[in-house]
Amino acid sequence: MSPSRRLTGPHPTLATVAERAGVSRQTVSNALNNPELLREDTLARVQAVIEELGYTPNRAARALRTRASHMIGLRFEPAQEGTSNALIDRFVHSLVEATARTGHHIILFSGDPDDLLDGYDELLRATAVDAFVITDTYAGTPQVDLLDRVGAPFVTFGRPWDDPSAKYPWVDVDGARGAELATEHLIAAGHQRIAWLGWEKTSRIGEDRRSGWSRALAAAGIDAAGLGVRITDNVDAARMAAHELLEDGTVTGFACASDTIAIGVLHALAERNLRPGADVGVVGFDDSLGAQVTWPGLTSVRQPLEQVAIEVIDLLHTVLSLKTPENPARMLEPSLVVRRSTRRD
Amino acid sequence: MSPSRRLTGPHPTLATVAERAGVSRQTVSNALNNPELLREDTLARVQAVIEELGYTPNRAARALRTRASHMIGLRFEPAQEGTSNALIDRFVHSLVEATARTGHHIILFSGDPDDLLDGYDELLRATAVDAFVITDTYAGTPQVDLLDRVGAPFVTFGRPWDDPSAKYPWVDVDGARGAELATEHLIAAGHQRIAWLGWEKTSRIGEDRRSGWSRALAAAGIDAAGLGVRITDNVDAARMAAHELLEDGTVTGFACASDTIAIGVLHALAERNLRPGADVGVVGFDDSLGAQVTWPGLTSVRQPLEQVAIEVIDLLHTVLSLKTPENPARMLEPSLVVRRSTRRD
DNA sequence: CTGAAAGCGCTAACAC
DNA sequence: GTGTTAGCGCTTTCAG
């Protein structure tokens, strides 16, 4: 005699479905997780009841039993104001779309701004997440060491700058190639003296992008001397640096490490009554909303974030199934979105 | 004789802690959830072991038992390109910060773009979330009906436009007041003929903001005839509308329903060689990144999203503890961030 | 104040 | 193929 209890609670359980379908709970479970084990008619009957009752397995119970939460943690930093670079936000949108197809969910957490590692450990010990996506690899990757140590799966958006031979799975966009595209585009538009406005030397990403600019100039036989400038990532610093470079009248192109910097250059042009595109070509980086709305339209290097998200989730999937990914290091190509800041109409 | 098993797995459990501290599992549980029940020395001893072992309660087990996941669902729509308005992204950042203090977490999910209700039900039936935050109230609120029907807790960012007497908890920002602030600011700067560039009539939020503009003009005894224009929310539509309004040379002020629209006005000014601020005052809405980086700096109405998030979480807390919030309808005041687009230097 | 027993809903292992 | 048993880690009774 089975102790069949009828639950009065709002949610049907395995037992409810089993009773209604006239099978055991295990059979319902199999219908869900190993449908090939059931006879066709039994399966159909069980599925009909599941449908009818609107049954969805209880996540907590399933997680407790299988030790898999199907949650992916992402540490979400406070909003950065004053920069047009909301790249991470766009990435998160893509990530949510990408996870939707796999049954995983993104859970956002915050941590002490002074402690890059804060928050990870707790979620892990609570078995609240199966894995992490790490985005802030530009700041070095202490998180990677931590997660490696405790054996937690993760994938990073951003390559292992500190240790190119590191073998954890990552996805990144070739920033040097992006800057090269930008510079080639300016050269093709007839510019010769093309400046680089980038970040401080401490930024690996910044130096990488800068190398793409150098490469493009070298390939075209253009001397880069005095044209590479390093500043902090804000509009005003860029504006001032641009004024300095524009002083002698020979510089007519700017490849920039960010849209914020490029917009600073546009400000300088406005103040000098120079026409973006016609007089001076300007290219930004990241195709941020700022690039899209700013006057007269900013040409910018765009990272394929949708694809990055898909690759990240794909890698995560592989890692979570304890398989070794075939290609754990995935470099994607950026593209150039051309707008009026480089058109010589 | 207690069946004390030593777990070899990575995570300590209640049993591990209990054994190590020489108490029963229940006592450890109490140390966590009802510390006032324990004798001081026992409590201290248990806490020391918890600390030492780095124990964190298993969320799945706790959720299964208490029927509370401590997760809050937020449906996250695909990124909107071409508009400077990433308000929701900024809100999510604030929300994550706000939840951090309460032990809740935000889980992001996506849904069929054609079905506003998609996704909610499933998370609920899976008991994956305790409650929802709803942000898209401008599109009407079918979600509210759904959640009300199934008895799921939620709080909205956005008031019940369709039914002002609805008694569910919400937090919103007074958009009419924001437009009024913008218009008053333009009047104070000496402008008289101040145009409104807003959204189509179908937008409740748009009409609400517009009413603030009318109110400010009326209070100053200025005739608004012919100055209120409704367009779609994009840079180009705004640019063209601005050109039309600027044609007769009398309009010198623009209050706008969004930063996107305001930036379109700035484009028109650039094309007419009019100086933002000195010749024509322009005010946007939402203080987006675009407003912050665009030349020459766009004055904009700012919504206090950090505070909105805090109030939302506060209401959610109250609702989740089955109490009736004292003040379930919370309207917050926006503020004006003044930049050069309204300075007459 | 502390301990023992029961069970949340599910799935892995094994019997039939 | 299908049913039975056990237990994931926790908290809620209820005894002591």
Check whether residue B21 has its CB closer than 7 Å to nucleic acid strand C: no
What confidence score (pLDDT) does residue A142 get? Answer: 86
Q: For residue range A41-70, what is the model confidence (pLDDT) as tens digits?
A: 888 999 999 999 999 999 999 999 999 999
Nucleotide nearest to A12 (CA to C1'): C9
pLDDT tier at B84 (50, 70, 90 boundaries)?
A: low
Check whether residue B7 has its CB closer than 7 Å to nucleic acid strand D: yes
List CB contacts (< 8 A) between A295 and chain B. Answer: 263, 266-267, 270, 294-295
Nearest CB among B63, B82, B108 relative to A105 is that of: B108
pLDDT tier at B82 (50, 70, 90 boundaries)?
A: low
- B60: nearest CA in chain A? A60
pLDDT surpasses 70 at B8: no
pLDDT, averaged across chain A: 91
Tell me what the mean pLDDT of segment A10-27 comes to. Answer: 88
| Strands of chain A, DSSP E | 71-75, 105-109, 131-134, 154-157, 170-173, 194-198, 228-230, 253-256, 281-285, 299-302, 329-332, 335-337
- A149: nearest CA in chain B? B10
Check whether residue B42 has its CB closer than 7 Å to nucleic acid strand C: yes
> Nearest CA to A314 among A99, A167, A166, A70?
A99
Contact B281, B254 (CB under 8 A): yes
**What is the enclosing helix (H) or strand (E) of B134?**
strand B131-134
Q: For residue range B278-316, what is the model confidence (pLDDT) as tens digits?
A: 999 999 999 998 898 898 899 999 999 999 999 999 999
With CB atoms and an 8 Å threshold, state whether A127 touches B58.
yes
All domains in chain A, ordered by first residue: 3-57 (1.10.260.40), 71-173+305-332 (3.40.50.2300), 175-303+336-342 (3.40.50.2300)
DSSP alpha helix (H) spans, chain B: 14-21, 25-33, 40-53, 59-66, 87-100, 120-125, 142-150, 175-188, 204-219, 235-246, 259-271, 289-293, 305-320
What confidence score (pLDDT) does residue B249 get? Answer: 93
Residues B31 and B35: their CA atoms lie apart, in Å, by 4
> Nearest CA to B249 among B305, B285, B195?
B195
Q: For residue range A76-125, what is the model confidence (pLDDT) as tens digits?
A: 988 776 565 588 999 999 999 999 988 899 999 999 989 989 999 999 99
What single-letter DSSP state applies at residue B276?
B
pLDDT surpasses 60 at A4: no
pLDDT surpasses 90 at B137: no
Is the dihedral angle over the CA atoms A275, A276, A278, A282 positive or is it negative? positive
Residues B236 and B260: their CA atoms lie apart, in Å, by 9
- pTM for this prediction: 0.91
pLDDT tier at B10 (50, 70, 90 boundaries)?
A: low
pLDDT tier at B345 (50, 70, 90 boundaries)?
A: confident
pLDDT surpasses 90 at B38: no
Strand order in the sheet with B154-157: A329-332, A170-173, A154-157, A131-134, A71-75, A105-109, B105-109, B71-75, B131-134, B154-157, B170-173, B329-332
Tell me what the mean pLDDT of segment A129-156 comes to. Answer: 87
Q: For residue range A271-313, what is the model confidence (pLDDT) as tens digits?
A: 999 999 999 999 999 999 889 889 889 999 999 999 999 999 9
Q: For residue range A313-344, what is the model confidence (pLDDT) as tens digits?
A: 999 999 998 888 889 999 999 999 999 999 98
What confidence score (pLDDT) does residue A65 get? Answer: 93
Check whether residue B31 has its CB closer than 7 Å to nucleic acid strand C: no
The DSSP-derived string for B41-84 is: HHHHHHHHHHHHHT----HHHHHHHHT---EEEEE-PPPPPS-S
What confidence score (pLDDT) does residue B140 get? Answer: 66
Q: For residue range B316-336, what is the model confidence (pLDDT) as tens digits?
A: 999 998 888 889 999 999 999
What confidence score (pLDDT) does residue A140 get? Answer: 65
Strand order in the sheet with A194-198: A228-230, A194-198, A253-256, A281-285, A299-302, A335-337
With CB atoms and an 8 Å threshold, state whether A126 touches B235.
no
Q: For residue range B178-222, what is the model confidence (pLDDT) as tens digits?
A: 999 999 999 999 999 999 999 999 999 999 999 999 999 999 999
